[in-house]
Structure 1
Amino acid sequence: MSTIVVLSGSPSAVSRTAALCAHLADRLRRLGHEVDGVRARDLPAEALLSADTRHPRIAEVVRLVEEADGVLVASPVYKAAYSGLLKTVLDLLPQFALAGKVVLPVVTGGSPAHVLAIDYALRPVLTSLGADHVVPGWFVLDRHIAVRDGEAGLDPEHAAPLYRVVDAFASAVAARRPLLAAS
């Protein structure tokens, strides 16, 4: 069974991005993957800001990423890029923490004008962390995500293309695991 980490980089307590991550994690579980969810906002602020990788919770996140076969990285758009909170978490990972993993970037935002945040802001940092298989990412407009009681509901018309991307990511993770075990 493949393991996937779903990392939400939203700093908000009530977050469309975090609710979407939980929704997609459930879908990945139904597709047969073991999924660990990480909400960056729930990590200890002092440990994040002081780059304390020995803090038990930070060390656990680093371990989860190191042991994962795939990583879904999600963030709301902030100033045409991903959140600073997500950047803080990514900065604590070892230099090649994403090597050998399949990575799916997902970005949420209020305007289609921010769609390039995936390829111009997030993809380069994922690649710098050693990701050699970053699948095409997906941008989700905030208005297509409804959050009720912490659960995400997606506009059905816009959910299908996102599900195709997530399912392709899940297939790529499943296909890659036997290759990595053989090497």
Structure 2
Amino acid sequence: MSGIVTLVGNPRGGSRTYDAAVRAAGTVAGLLGRDGAGEVVDLAGLAPLLLKPGASSAVEIALEQVAEAEVLVVAGPTYKGTYTGLLKVFLDRLPGGALAGTVALPLLVMGDARHAPAVEVHLRPLLVELGATVPTPGLALLESHLADLDGHLGPWAARVAPQVAAALREGARA
């Protein structure tokens, strides 16, 4: 296991989703007594390789980082009411059970509050299917929240950090 890993499924590099995800991971890490936000797997750079035939060492390394995460923040923008195809294509490369022993925190950035259920209805089940423990509600961040990101991340992280810590303790006993 390799600590906290952030997986960003936005097809645009340098996105607001990337910033929100890294800051969310750092906020939770701080409350767990860990230094920094950990490693980041940004799928924007891997997009051309994900549908290309044949193996890619960069993709394999990213899959390994994600599968070895102790805590995995999985973030993406909401497109057409759910997460991006880029995120799905990447996660589909993981074998069933690959996230066993991983505590996952789903996070979606969206333009409209009507898309908020996508975190629980679409992203959480995918992570659970891969074997992750998802002990907390996911975070639905409206684009309007990004102007005061710390004001939204602080209360969220304070709510989820104890549940993440408990899940990690449970995992350590298994």
Task: Give the TM-score normalised by the residue count of structure 1.
Answer: 0.80
Distance 1:129 1:21, change over 3 A: same
In the comparison of the two structures, how many residue pairs are matched?
A: 171
Please show how residues 5-16 of structure 1 align to structure 2 within 5 Å.
5-16=5-16
Corresponding residue of 1:20: 20
Contact persistence 1:4–1:36 (CA under 8 A): yes
Whole-angstrom CA distance in 2 between matches of 1:18 and 1:141: 14
Q: Paired residue for 2:45, among 42, 45, 49?
A: 42
d(CA) in 1 for partners of 2:159, 2:16: 22
CA–CA separation in structure 2 for the residues paired with 1:124 and 1:141: 21
Q: State the shift of 1:117 in Å.
A: 0.8
- Counterpart mapping for 1:1-183 below 5 A: 3-31=3-31, 32-33=33-34, 35-43=38-46, 45-46=48-49, 48-50=50-52, 52=54, 54-146=55-147, 154=149, 156=151, 159=152, 162-183=153-174
**1:151-183 per-position Cα deviation (integer Å, ceiling 9, x unaligned):** xx5273xx1xx3333344443343344443443
Look up the equivalent residue of 2:7 and give its one-letter code.
L
Q: 5+ unaligned residues in a row in structure 1: which ranges?
A: 147-152
Q: Gaps spanning 5+ residues in structure 2: where?
A: none
Instruction: Give the Å deviation of 1:10.
Output: 0.8
Shift of 1:80: 0.5
| Amino acid corresponding to residue 65 of structure 1 in structure 2 | V
Identical pairs, percent: 37
RMSD over aligned Cα atoms: 2.4
Question: Does the CA contact (< 8 Å) of 2:81 and 2:118 recur in 1?
Answer: yes
Give the secondary structure class of the aligned counterpart of 1:68.
coil
Asked whether the equivalents of residues 102 and 135 of structure 1 are also in contact (C-alpha less than 8 Å), the reply is no
Q: Name 1:150's counterpart in structure 2.
A: none
Contact 2:77 2:109 in 1 (8 A): yes
Q: Distance in 2 between matches of 1:102 and 1:177?
A: 7
Higher share in strand: 1
